[in-house]
Amino acid sequence: MEILAFGVQADERPLIEKAFAGHHDVRCLDVFLTEDTAPLAAGYEIVSTSVNADLGARVLRALADAGTKMIAQRSTGFDNIDLDAARELGLTVSRVSSYSPHSVAEFAWALALAVNRRIVRASNRTRDFDFRLDGLMGRDMRGRTVGVLGTGKIGEAFTRIAHGFGMNLLGWDVEPNPACVELGMRYVDKDELFVASDLVSLHLPLLDTTHHLVDGAALRLMKDDAILVNAGRGGLVDTEALVDELRDGRFAGVGLDVYEAEAGVFFLDKSLEAPEDDTLARLLTFPHVVVTSHQAYYTHDAVGQIVGATVANVADYLAGRRSGNTLTPAG
């Protein structure tokens, strides 16, 4: 059987081809699945997609009408999928429920340190042979307070690094993580976390209850010199409200690996086009803001695990099995 994989990055392609070798043929496309590209899947029973694929009702129906029966998404998040429509159409949909939590946790810390120590600005200066230190002063992390919203596997990995820095640990989640408590984390109300934290890092899924969890009110609770990092999901932060606070001169730094309107922008080369998203364009003008293109997961280790889980999901579908990765069963 030949499988069609949408949105495959150049670095990802050899891992996908190697993982499927000996099992199935796989055709890799660098284009993302959208309503315009869905006709490319005609005749493919199994389609694999990336996190920024459009899997709304119209696209799902187009896939189903053209013969697709199974969608294997190569990500943990699945808020881009209309699961009700998939069930109605009898489509099997799977995801990758977990992969290396260290990839995202380490990258979140890379963002925190980059904005705290002005790494990007310093690097840009030295490339121009400007070796001044003006405006590059950061702060020690040791002894300061970190607030971690979401203390699952990734949040726990982030917390372990914070513990290594010697930070005071605050957490917020629906249930405390015993491993984080053992490290000395104190679970508090989220408003208290926003008020007390020098660094706030987001590691939550995007749900109706977490959409814009960091809204204008939450941002105004934070210290003027706090650092905000989001390597979770873009919709956790009200970006318009964040821009308003930044325009008022607030925050020591903001590191974003995700953005709530990233679909159709992230993973693509837009360098020769006029920016269409005014909010994103304004974000990128602030010198103490670092935005990356949803790359926190992008390590050889994590992508290898994602691809391996995708191969297993396909095998489960063909054998008529369900697993913890199955979002909707066939039929």
Pairing of strands 46-49, 289-291: unpaired
Helix 300-318 to helix 101-116 angle, to the nearest 10 degrees?
Answer: 150
Out of 118, 144, 203, 294, which one is annotated catalytic? Answer: 294
Out of 95, 262, 282, 288, which one is annotated catalytic? Answer: 262
Angle, vertex CA 180, rays to CA 175 and CA 185, nearest 5: 95
Report the residue count for the chain. Answer: 331
Could you give the C-alpha distances from 176 to 97, 172, 237, in angstroms and in order?
20, 8, 22
> Has 294 been annotated as catalytic?
yes
160-192 burial, b for 16+ CB within 10 Å, e for fewer?
bbbbebebbbbbbbeeebeebeebebebbebee
> Has 262 been annotated as catalytic?
yes
Closest CA to 147 of 97, 108, 110, 99: 108
Out of 233, 250, 282, 288, which one is annotated catalytic? Answer: 233
Helix 153-165 to helix 101-116 angle, to the nearest 10 degrees?
Answer: 40
> Has 203 been annotated as catalytic?
no
| Phi (first) and psi of residue 20, to 5 degrees | -85, -15
d(CA 212, CA 277): 19
Looking at the annotation, which residues are catalytic? 233, 262, 294
